[in-house]
Amino acid sequence: MPVRALLLGERLDTRGLERDDTIATNPLTLRIGRDGIAFLFRYGVVVFAGLSAIEEDDVVRSLGPRISEPASAPETDQLQILIKSGSDDQVDPSGAIILREPSPERLQIVANVLSKSLVLSHYESRIASAFDRIEPLAAQLQRTGRTGYQAIQLLQQIGGVLLTQHRMVGRVEIEEKPDVLWDHPELERLYARLEDEYELAERSRGLEGKLALINETVGTILDLVQNQRSTRLEWYIIGLILIEILLSIGDMLLRLRVG
């Protein structure tokens, strides 16, 4: 069974999409066609299980108006699930996912992990780009001790990256277990195996460490910019005072000459 995840945008509004064939509500899980299932996550990811390319395109087009900050080119990840009746749910040494049966609950576990892995990949790419932009600035600071005019633009770009921290904690909840485990605790082992296979916890903590470093860097740059502006303003004030003194001296000399 093919399973494919697409990151469509920053947020997906799923309100009002419930239908008679709704399987679950968190995430919203819909039956598509005879054997297909679509999992809609509010943090902008849709996961398809057992759908054809045409069916996937139809669903994506129907969701277009509900996507906030849509991606120009949706990021995607996919895998194949092997169904082996009578076997244990497992991840074999090659990384293939083996399920005893394609039940909606098992597929929801797979969709949850795959969607979070895709979001992590997206954030990892954005943060890596931020570090690439920070490196030249750090080199300039080392050489000249000044941030240069591009510092303000860099701060604006990094501000977008800092939103990642809010979205990870407030929306995606990378390290939170899916709700389906409350009703099906027997699937806890399957989730643990998939979480370990995709290294969700480790990658999440790695991103948090990088975000903390970016926060510290931003604070340092802001302090430097403010100090430079304060120093420049002090020189302007000193210059104005000198001009005022020179004008006063000139006025005094002119009066003495006239007198």
The 10s digit of each residue's pLDDT in 70-113 is 888 888 998 889 998 888 888 888 778 999 888 999 999 999 99
Cα(100)–Cα(106) distance, rounded to whole angstroms? 9
Provide the pLDDT for residue 164.
66
Residue 170 in this model has a pLDDT that exceeds 60: no
- Find the Cα–Cα–Cα–Cα dihedral 51, 55, 59, 61, rounded to 10°: 140
pTM of the shown model: 0.77
Contact at 8 Å (CB) between 127 and 161? yes
Residue type, 108: Q
Provide the pLDDT for residue 1.
85
Cβ-in-10-Å burial (0-12, 13-18, 19+) of 117 comes to buried
Task: Compute the average pLDDT of residues 121-136.
Answer: 79
